[in-house]
Amino acid sequence: MKRKYLTQEEIEKLLSATDRMPFPERNRCLILMAFIHGFRASELLGLRLS
């Protein structure tokens, strides 16, 4: 059976990959919000600043 979660190491790799992307702070924040709060991709994309 395939697991349905990421390991701590996989999460750390994702977070470190943001350093090589445009807007690293924004991307890191979105990844953390997804993991900490359980946001889906569609929910992250629907966020608006106010």
Instruction: Say if 3 falls within a structural domain.
Output: no
Instruction: Say if 18 falls within a structural domain.
Output: yes
Task: Write the CA distances from 17 to 13, 27, 28, 35, 46, integer angstroms.
Answer: 6, 9, 9, 16, 23
Question: Which tokens is 20 given?
Answer: 């090589």
Q: Give me the domain span that covers residue 36.
A: 8-45
Task: Count up the domains in the chain and report the number.
Answer: 1
Q: Could you tell me the mean pLDDT of each successive run of 10 residues in the chain, 50 residues long? A: 90 94 93 91 89
Instruction: Say if 1 falls within a structural domain.
Output: no
Provide the residue count of the chain.
50
Identify whether the C-beta of residue 30 lies closer than 8 Å to the C-beta of residue 14.
no
Instruction: Say if 50 falls within a structural domain.
Output: no
Instruction: Say if 38 falls within a structural domain.
Output: yes
> pTM above the 0.85 mark?
no
